[in-house]
Each structure stands twice: as C-alpha cells, then as structure tokens.
Amino acid sequence: MSSSPSTPAAGTPSGATGATPWHARECHEVAREYAVDPARGLDSEQAAQRAREHGPNALQAAPRRSVLALAAAQLADPMVVILVIAAIASAILGDKLDALVILAIVLMTTALGLSQTWRADRALAQLQQLAAAQATVLRGGHPHAIPAHELVPGDVVLLEAGNQVPADLRLVEVAQLMADESALTGESATVAKHAEAIAAPAATLGDRHNMAYLGTSVTQGHGRGIVVATGTGTELGKLARHLAPARPDTPLQKRLAAFSWRLSVAILLLCVAVFWLGLLRGEPPVLMLLTAISLGVAAIPEALPAVVAIILALGARKMATRKALVRKLSSVETLGSVTVICTDKTGTLTQNRMRLERLLADARPWLPGEALATPCQRQLLVAAALCNDARPDPDAGTDISTTWIGDPTETALADAASAAGIDKLALEARLPRVQEQPFDAARKRMTTFHRQAAGYIAFTKGAPESVIPCCTSRQTADGTLPMAPRAALHDALHDAQALAAQGLRVLALAMREHDALPAPDAVAGAESSLTFLGLVALFDPPRPEAAAAVRDCVTAGIMPVMITGDHPETALAIARMLGILGEHGGEVLTGAALAQLDRAALLAAVAHVRVYARVDPEQKLRIVEALQDLGHFVAMTGDGINDAPALKRADIGVAMGRQGTDIAREAASLVLLDDNFATVVAAVREGRRIYDNIRKFVRYAMTGNSGELWVITLAPLFLLPIPLLPAQILWINLVTDGLPGLALAAEPAEADVMRRPPRHPRESLFAHGMWQHILGIGLLIGLVSLGVQAWALGQDRDGWQTMVFTTLTLAQMAHVMAIRSEHVPLWRLPLATNLPLLGAVLLTLCLQLAVIYLPVFQALLHTRPLDALELAVSVGAAAIVAVAVEAGKARRNARAARAAQAGGTAAPAH
C-alpha cells in the first residue's frame, strides 16, 4: 500500500476528518486513514517520511542545561560570589595583582566544576538513552524491535503480556487482551480489550475498550494495534505537558549535603576566629579578610555531593558497558550491602538454550535424531508444535521452517518437530488456531483451540502436576484408553519426576476434541477430561560462569537463593551442579508447601532454604519480606508481570533485559542486559568498588581540607606568621581537589573486595576509622608544614613561605597515592592500574614546580625559587604523611592477622 501524502496529526483524537473519534471507527477505516495494512505494517520509506513529519514519539522532557546555564550555576555559588567581592575590594584598596590572581583561580576552579557537572549530565543522559523503552512493530510484514521513540502514526504495534503500551493505539486484533490502565484512569481493575468499534463517540477513557494508551500495560493475552497518537499528542502526553521530571538525589548525596552544610557552618566560624587572631597579631586587615575567605572557600566541602554524583554516574555508565544497566542511581551505592541474591533459574543461572532431550509417549522413549516409531510419538510432537507461540525468524533466509524466535522452550519444541519432519507452518494452515487460554502462573498450563474438518481440537501443555490430573484417558498404541485414576496418574507423575531428577525440564501434553468452540469465559472449564499424550523433557545447561559466580557470592558473604517455577527435582539437580546447596543439604521448598506456612514457620524456613521450586511469582514477595524481616538486604531477579511487586519490595530489584517484560523492568532498579546471574555478582562487585572509591575521595578531600585548616589555625598559636597567602590557598585547592581527587574514581577494585562481608546499609560513610584518619592525618599535614616553616624561619631563609606552600601541596599528593588501598602497601600497588591518577599527580607536581621556578608564576603567587636543600626538606616532610598512612595500614593488618590466628575470621581492615 503506497504512502499517503500526509497522515493524520499524531495528537488528533478524531482522525483526519475531525469528525469521529478513533474508538468509534471501524478497524478498516483507521487502517485506510493511515494507509497501512494491519497484516504487514508500514515499510521503511513510509516510516522514515512520517518520522520527519511528526518527530519522535517522546513526552516533553526537561530541557537539558546549556553550558552557559551550567557556568552561571557555578559562578552563583555563594562562596564564589563572596570571593569575587573580596577580590574586587582588594583591587580597590590597591592590591590589584593579587586580586587578578584570585579572580583567575576562581575562573579556573569554575571551569573545572563546569567540566565535572557536564560530564555527570552527559553520563546520566547516556544511561537514560540505554534505558529507553522498546516496541515491537510490523515493518514490511515482519516483526522488529525498535526504540519506542521511533514509532510513527500508522505503525502496527504487536502487544504481549508484560508490555508497556508505547503509544496510543487503536486495537485491530486481540486475544484475551487485558490491560492495567490505573496509571491513566485511576481504576485498579484490569480492563478486557476488544477490536470492535464503540458506538458512543463521547465514551470516557476508561470505557474505550478498543484503545490502548501510552503509560498503560498489558497484563494478559496479546494483540496488535495501529498507532494513532505519539508523544505529547497522546492522552498521557496531554497530562504531562506541564510536568518537568525531577532528578532526585541519592540517599548518600542527601546525607553528604546535610553533612557539608553543618561542617560549612563550623568552618566559617573557624575562619572568623582566624581573622580575629590575625588582627590581634597585628596582621593587615585586608590580608586577614582575604585569607579567611580563601580558607573558607578551600576548606568547605560544598562539592562533595556533586563529586559523589559524578562518581556514581560514571560508575553506572561503566556498569552498563558490563551488561548491568542502572535505572536507579541509589542502587549503585547500596549494592555493597546485598546479603542475599534471589535468582531465577532459567536463563539466569542457565543458558536459556533449551533443547529437546527425550520424548515419552505411551511409555516409549524417543530421542532427537531417531525416526518416529509410533503414531503416539508423532501426535505428541504435533501437539508440541501447535500449542506453541514460536514464530518463524524473518532473518533466517530460505531455511525458515527450522529457525524460530520466541520463548526458548517453545522454539526448542518447534525445532524438534521440524527435525522429525513435522511442518509447523503447514499444520497451522490445516488446523488454524481460533482461540486460546494463555499460560498463567496459577494454572501452570496453556491451551490452544484449532479448527479441524469436524469441529475443534484443543491441545494443552504445562507442568505435569497441573496437566496430568486433568486427564481421564491416555493415548496408546492400542488407541485411547481410560486412565485409571491412581495407577496411571502415579506412573505418569513418577516418569516426570525421574526425568526432572536428571536436571531436565519436563512438560506434559494432552488433547481434547470439541463439537463446538467453548465460550471465551468457559475456556478454563474446557481444560478437563483431557487425553494424556505424553511427556517432553528439555535440557537447559548451566551457564559456564554461573558456578564461579556462586562461589564469589559465598566468599563475599552473600547467600545465593534459587527461586524457580520448575519441578523440584530439576531445581535440585541444577542447584547441586552450581554449588548453591553447599553444606545445606538437599532441602527444597515448593510453592504448595510454602503456602501452608504461617509467618513464624516461613521465617524459620527462609533462614536455611536455598532452593524454592514450583513457586508462583506472588510467593516471591513473601520470600523477600521474610528475608528482610530477618535483617537481610535482598536483591531479587524477575522477568514477569507478577514479579513486579517482589522487584519493588526488594532492596534491589533486578529485571531481565532480554526475556523480561516492560513492567518488570519498570519496577526494577537494575536491568541485566544479558539475563546472566554472573552479571548480578559483577554488579555487586562494581558497586563495592564504586563505594570504596567514594570513601577514598571523601577521605582524601577532607583530610587535605583538614590539613589546610590546621596550618592556618595553628600558626598564630605557635607564634608563627600566617604561612600562606590567599592566592596560594586557592591554588592548592585548585590543583589538589580537582583532578587527583576525581581520578580516584578510576581506582580498580581491591583484591579482597569480594572477600569482605556485606556492608550494613545504614553504615556511616565515615565508619572503619575514617574520622580518625581525617583528623589525625590532617593534623599531621598541618604539623609537618608548620615544622618546615619553623625550620626555614630559624635558618633565616627567604623562601620559607614557598616551602610551606610546596610542602602542603606535596603532602596531599603523597596522601592520595597512599590511600589507593586501605590495607595494601603503596609499593605493592602497580602505578599502571590507575593511569588517570598517576597523570593527575604528575601534572600537579609539574604545575607546582612551575609555580616555584618560572618567573611569571613567581610574580603572580609570590613564590621564591627553592634551592636543593629547601626542596629536599619539603619533599621529605611531605613523605612523612605517606609513611604515617602506611604505618596505619601495617597496624590494621597486624591486628587482622592476630585475630585470624586466634581463630577469628576478621575481614581486612578498611
């Protein structure tokens, strides 16, 4: 069908004619209006033309901050404004050179802050792009997954249970389609959808049962619809036009912001004290005013929350490159607190590459590759091919009959049928599906109804314990025979259990013929008096890296727990292969048994159970809550619609990026782009590394600030002149707090990062001796700097102020190198493992030497060239700081070693 010159406006509810709303029009009218065949969709040229005409399918977003706006925000900082005013006042009073130097340093500091903020914004924007919603559309007759923002009016969208509706759609085909529209209408009950025109043009949103709207979700069934509105033209877009999305701070940022404010007040009071102490010593008032202001600007940690945001954003972006997409930035800082990982089996611990291992029909086994020996075996494969939603892969070329896409279990069954000479496409043409009852977690089975020459035939597929009790007869080589109530049921279930014990996933298939098609609301009742056809057993091998990931969990003090809908014997077999059970034996708790437990019994069970089988998604929520009641910090994986409550309730919800539903991804804080359990463990490792590096940055920045405060505050008490000029204080702040501190974010994970117990989620950032380190090493930096000053004054050296200036800068460089690890000696840390930090330190050293020895900088910062002895004294004094940090590491390591020898299992000090 050729493209029309123009399509109806994307936001027009009544179509191009402006007369009749979409819900009141027949499907063929809507298709004609948009020049689209609902069976084929648009072609690429039509889609491209309409994309140019209508723009992206996106709601109005908050405008990105421009560079000028970011710069203005930096310059509007109160401390910067105060410093600029002070510099201007200094210039008016005659000290113009110092005023220009201070203003230049302020501009450089602002430029550095601007660069950091821009990088953080860009990292967050890239994460948002990665998290963009997807939609499945028909293009040229084939389904394609595309970003939802690329949808155009007239696109034909395919919907399945678990999908978020990506635009406003006029439904043209449905199969038991149910939708949750509570986000739009406020009604909590799900809505049954149909494709018929609605006679009432003025029907409210909640009554338009042939429409699907952006922001709603599909809870059951499947269907297709034509896009009639995109972006701000959708019903949700109309509501959202005046709402600007906010970017909330993480809990850690909030705590640091509050801490910074309180500390800033204390530092400002200290700066006032420094000002008056200087006046009492007879120092010039303007000098003391600039010194106090410069000290406040350098020492107040107002940038801590911002830098933490940068580290979190850059860390989250790095995690995305490792297949773990962070949807909630707060999860990065809390990953290190995980004590339990509850994980699915299929596709997460296993490869999700199902293959048929054997087939059991009339008690006779069949293996793939063998010729079908009996009609019973063939009928079983026919049922497996028809009660099956796998569809041909459009990219498979001419070999389309044996290459399928869809659920891995169903594609494995379709492949096995094809290999046995059964043409699934020809079967579907001869026995077309006319009705279905989709799989759900409560029934654990699905049924499809097909038209045949005389009446209808239904095929049912599902868990053996769900399907077999519905059977009253069984197919044998001698024909259909009654199924003895106990013996045959026991034999069939025993066969299923024996196969499951080998780690195989077992499904039972059955059939029933009908004279007339059951009413849609009576389909569930039609799943009775079935004829048992047999069992199929599939194998999904464990992922090669899963066992190592499980071992990493155990070593890190994290308890891996498998929760699956599979047979208990299958779950136990895989758990044993991967080492999940360990010393806890072979106990497995089934969903049926779990349902009988009261709260106290459940708490007792979850304390030691490592494997749950035949569990409904709703029961995952009970497990999560019970684990949390025991004090655990829980990560929970999930992919289905009903997993969403458990994902939200878990401390960290982890959704599947490949097989997961949109609803599950929306509820999660972390999305696995490869659906791999090892990626969860890698994310925990990365989260621990990021948190460690945040601690290192805070340790470094606040220790340096503490040292600067001690130098200026203690000098008058030791009857020494003010050791630093305002411009020198600001220079130290510029070259030490900038690149070296931020480069700590690139520090690799320490060797023991996955050998420590999980961090308590409420643990202070300053725990494990950080406060003592900040105050103690900061005081040491101040004392060695003042010691250099006293020595130089005693030697009557003109360069005493330059020596203090240099010692303070070098001491902070020695400190930043020493704290790369909290317990590994500096000489055992290869320099090449953090090249950004090495480069930042070398650059700082070069800048400091330039300030000392280049005349232009000497004039600006009032420095003197140091001779070899003076430089050696400054370097030696700075090295004392590194020696002190290393001595502290040695003491902590010795205590840990003594505790281990005494029979303890203390973690390395950190």
| Residue in the structure block whose two tokens are 């106090």 | 292
- Provide the total of helices (H) and of strands (E) in the chain, helices listed first: 31, 26
Whether 180 sits among the annotated catalytic residues: the reply is: no
Query: Whole-angstrom Cα distance, residue 287 to residue 89?
Result: 11
Query: Whole-angstrom Cα distance, residue 105 to residue 731?
Result: 7
| DSSP H helical ranges for 163-250 | 182-185, 235-240
Query: Whole-angstrom Cα distance, residue 581 to residue 103?
Result: 65
Query: Whole-angstrom Cα distance, residue 240 to residue 232?
Result: 8
Q: Which amino acid is at 832?
A: A
Query: Whole-angstrom Cα distance, residue 670 to residue 690?
Result: 16
Tokens of 708: 């600067």
The neighbouring-strand residues paired with 637 are 654
Catalytic annotation, pick one of 95, 155, 344, 440: 344
3 state SS of 348? coil
Nearest residue to 637 via CA among 621, 619, 655, 622: 655
3 state SS of 503? coil
**Could you count the other beta carbons within 10 Å of the beta carbon of residue 110?**
17
- DSSP code, position 248: P
| DSSP H helical ranges for 76-224 | 78-92, 96-130, 182-185
Do residues 124 and 313 make contact, with C-beta atoms less than 8 angstroms apart? Answer: yes
Do residues 568 and 615 make contact, with C-beta atoms less than 8 angstroms apart? Answer: no
Nearest residue to 730 via CA among 860, 838, 852: 860
Distance spanning both ends of the chain, measured CA to CA:
68
3 state SS of 556? coil
Q: Which amino acid is at 448?
A: T
Nearest residue to 537 via CA among 503, 574, 571: 503
3-state secondary structure 843-869: HHHHHHHHHHHCHHHHHHHCCCCCCHH
Burial 793-826 (b: 16+ CB within 10 A, else e): eeeebebbbbbbbbbbbbbbbbbbbbbbbbbeeb
Query: Whole-angstrom Cα distance, residue 75 to residue 77?
Result: 5
Tokens of 825: 């000696």
- Report in angstroms the alpha-carbon separations of 482 from 362, 464, 496, 531, 903: 13, 18, 20, 9, 66
Nearest 10 degrees: Cα torsion 275, 279, 283, 285? 70
The residues carrying an active-site annotation are 344
